A = this chain, B = another copy of it.
Amino acid sequence: MPGRGPRASSRDAILRVFAEHVADRGYADTSLGDVAAELNLSKGTIVHHFGNKETLLREVHVAYFARRFAEADFVHVHLADPVSRLVAMIYALLAAHRDDRAASLACLRELVRYFDGDLTDYVRKQRVRYTEIVVDILRAGVEQGLLRTPDPQMTALQVFGMCNYAWTWYRPDGPQTVEDIARLFAHDILAGLVPRPGADPELDELVSAAIETVRRAPGRSASDDPGPDHPASGHGAPDDPTSENPGGDRAEPVPTAP
């Protein structure tokens, strides 16, 4: 127990346990009382720190996407060609299931809560921005003749689906490692399931190399590593979390996924 620590802020701990509960039970079935009890805190303390339950979920979500954006930045810095970047994004999305489990599941389970304007527009912007990163990769690949798709937006949703749906079946102690899964998914979607005579072995190497690049990224494997302070570089978070887009229209012209 924190034992009324000397200014020991319980914020992070509350956020962590709350995310775990949401990941395991879902938002509606997560009780603040249970979270408080697990931390030997009073329910009132949680309210003191965050105000209400919804804010907790929002903070989990914002932090999760900050980590994903930092990851995307890393990918763009260390990998140049669109195909490698796409593989890396697939791997990153799948690896989050293992390395950022609680937040990943919490966000994916409760994803639908961000549709009806329940949560801040900032969260919506994060989702749109993240989707655009992958769409841009696909579009660049098509322009360079390295990829082929008549609708990058739609294909991005396909990629998000095959990765994000993993939360329903992926288990860290399963037979396949995340790297195995990423390699298979990337190969399937890049080379296709229909075999062709002139299948180039270079593709397998490219896939493995891209995965390895991200896997060896600094600040990995430490599961409770909150990641670098996500410097506001290329794909940094849009605007500011505190500013409530005034008069922002609720219409969502382009579907987003992650």
Contacts and interface: CB of A to CB of B under 8 A. Distances in A.
A112 interface: yes
B109 A169 contact: no
A184 B151 contact: yes
Interface string A177-215: 000010011001111111111100001000000000000
A176 B198 CA distance: 33
A153 B190 CA distance: 18
- Give the number of copies in the complex: 2
Nearest to A171: B255
A211 to B, nearest CB: 15
A139 B109 CA distance: 31
Interface string A138-172: 10010001111111001101111111111011110
A64 to B, nearest CB: 16
A188 B26 contact: no
Interface residues of A, number: 53
A6 interface: no
Given A28-B26, A162-B158, A184 B112 contact: no
26 contacts: A26-B26, A28-B28, A109-B112, A147-B194, A147-B195, A151-B176, A154-B184, A157-B165, A158-B188, A160-B165, A161-B162, A161-B164, A168-B257, A169-B256, A169-B257, A170-B255, A171-B255, A188-B192, A189-B192, A191-B192, A191-B194, A192-B192, A192-B193, A194-B203, A196-B196, A196-B198
Interface of A: 26, 28-29, 83, 86, 109, 111-112, 138, 141, 145-151, 154-155, 157-166, 168-171, 174, 176, 181, 184-185, 188-198, 203, 255-257
